[in-house]
Chain A
Amino acid sequence: GQQLNQSPQSMFIQEGEDVSMNCTSSSIFNTWLWYKQDPGEGPVLLIALYKAGELTSNGRLTAQFGITRKDSFLNISASIPSDVGIYFCAGPGISGGSNYKLTFGKGTLLTVNP
């Protein structure tokens, strides 16, 4: 089956620093999704990417869909304490799976020190 490798597993940063995390896939994805999960909550969709090479921003967040369609990154600029949480990449693959079943990365736990 499809696998997503997400890194880093965790990050400890100071408020104001920029953050970068990425996901790579063993197979081609036709959509990349980035979610954030706060403690005790369900994941919230941050950014959705639909085309290879696409670069999309949402406030201080920027994400890109890799040209090979097997990777994506998420950047957070000028981090603030409320950025704390777990960030997941996800996507429905093309090969080996139906186009609506999401595969999730293992998550990146972000801690921001004020």
Chain B
Amino acid sequence: SAVISQKPSRDICQRGTSLTIQCQVDSQVTMMFWYRQQPGQSLTLIATANQGSEATYESGFVIDKFPISRPNLTFSTLTVSNMSPEDSSIYLCSVEPPDGHNEQFFGPGTRLTVL
């Protein structure tokens, strides 16, 4: 497994602003993922972030709204841009360890409330 931390753990933001969420892993991993979990819902994959290449976004998510950085094998950021109340969710990063078999390990999440 891997130990994953996220910052901030929670935030309350104003409409129209942007928030950058950080994800730090205690070991080097190739595959990192960002998910959104809307209130009372399941997890939805936003994008896959691989070091050294552009993030791959899922249908319904675009780079302008959710820019992602992956500067090295232990760190990634997700920015939620030009926020609206509909962006209020928990944002989770996850990793697949190099020796894994498709299992992913999750960070504690960032609870975002947009007013």
A interface residues with partner B (beta carbon < 8 Å)? 30-31, 33, 35, 40-45, 48, 50, 88, 90-92, 99-102, 104-107
Complex CA–CA separation, A104 to B94 (angstroms): 14
A102 and B102 contacting across the interface, CB-CB below 8 Å: yes
A101 contacts B31, CB within 8 Å?
no
Residue of B with least CB distance to A103: B45
**Contact between chains at B107 and A105 (CB < 8 Å):** no
Within 71-106 of B, Cβ neighbours of A (below 8 Å) are at 92, 94, 96, 101-106
Say whether chain B's binding surface is mostly helix, strand, loop, or mixed: strand
In the complex, chain A residues whose CB is within 8 Å of the CB of B108: 40-42
Q: How many interface residues does B have (CB within 8 Å)?
A: 23
Q: How far is the CB of B56 from chain A (nearest CB, A)?
A: 9
Give the docked Cα–Cα distance between A104 and B48 (Å).
Answer: 16
Q: Are A101 and B45 in contact (CB under 8 A)?
A: yes
Contact across chains for A43 and B43 when beta carbons are under 8 A apart:
yes
Which residues of B sit under 8 angstroms from A91, Cβ to Cβ?
A: 102
Instruction: For the complex, give the distance between the alpha carbons of A30 and B107 in Å.
Output: 24
Give bound CA distance, A99 to B45, whole Å: 14
